[in-house]
Structure 1
Amino acid sequence: MDLLDEYRRATFAFESGDPAGAARLLEPILAAEPHNAAVRQLLARAYFNSAQLAGAEAQLRVLIERDPSDHYAHHVLGRTLERAGRFSEALPHLRLAAAMKQHDDYAEALRRVQMWVGKHGGRAAGAA
């Protein structure tokens, strides 16, 4: 298997709107190159975009463990936890991302989750 060609195929699948297909292509690449942050990040994004939130969370936590200053990984982990209804867990990651880099998407996600936590105490939607 030519890993670079497979990575290009996975990138094309992701950019063409097939995140689940991209994830399937990326998984064996990551197995062969477990320290490749670019592959891990694209896999996390593919999992996020295909609603495989546990997979996204696992990949993002590895990225953050290896590089705690990765603002993008903190942002996407925060968004993943938000999407899973885990607002209180999302908040610290969104705060870190917004503090590390000024970006409209980071600020908007932080505002949204802060508002939710303020209104609901961090409980998931529908929780009693």
Structure 2
Amino acid sequence: MTTALYWKLAEDSFEQKDYRSAVQHLDRVLAEAPDTAAALELRARAHFHRASLPPAEVDLRALLELEPTNEYAMLLLARTLERQDRRTEARGVRRVLAVVTGNEEHLADHRAFA
């Protein structure tokens, strides 16, 4: 199969909330194109939804290496760290996010963790 087909299958799986399959398809996409920001983001989201938090964190950090001002990646990384009870690290990410966006609301812990 082609990378484009694996990407389509990953998107379809994600939309159907079959996050495990989405991750498997995205693994194939990223094997062929490791610096594909959209694939890293979607795989991080799929990992997050599966509560596979360490792999989500790895993908989000890789994504932020490619796109240092990606607001969504920063927010999801903060939430991922919070879910792992790493609130101090999450606050650091939230501070950067607040500076990048100019929105101080990002400084607050997620409601579920406050």
- The bucket for the TM-score relative to the shorter chain is 0.7 to 0.9
Q: Does 1:111 align with 2:78?
A: no
In the alignment, what sits opposite 1:35? 35
How far apart, in 1, do the equivalents of 2:25 and 2:4 lie? 11
Q: How far off its partner does 1:38 sit?
A: 0.5
Q: How far off its partner does 1:102 sit?
A: 6.6
In the alignment, what sits opposite 2:79? 79
How far apart, in 1, do the equivalents of 2:49 and 2:55 lie? 11
How far apart, in 2, do the equivalents of 1:64 and 1:83 lie? 19
Which of these two proteins has the greater Rg computed from alpha carbons? Answer: 1
Mapping of 1:12-91 within 5 angstroms? Answer: 12-91=12-91
Amino acid paired to 1:17: K
TM-score, with length taken from structure 1: 0.77
How far apart, in 2, do the equivalents of 1:108 and 1:13 lie? 33
- Assess if the C-alpha contact under 8 Å between 2:97 and 2:106 holds in 1: no
How far apart, in 1, do the equivalents of 2:48 and 2:7 lie? 18
Number of positions where the alignment pairs a residue of Structure 1 with one of Structure 2: 113
How far apart, in 1, do the equivalents of 2:7 and 2:13 lie? 10
In the alignment, what sits opposite 2:4? 4
- Assess if the C-alpha contact under 8 Å between 2:91 and 2:109 holds in 1: no
Q: How far off its partner does 1:19 sit?
A: 1.2
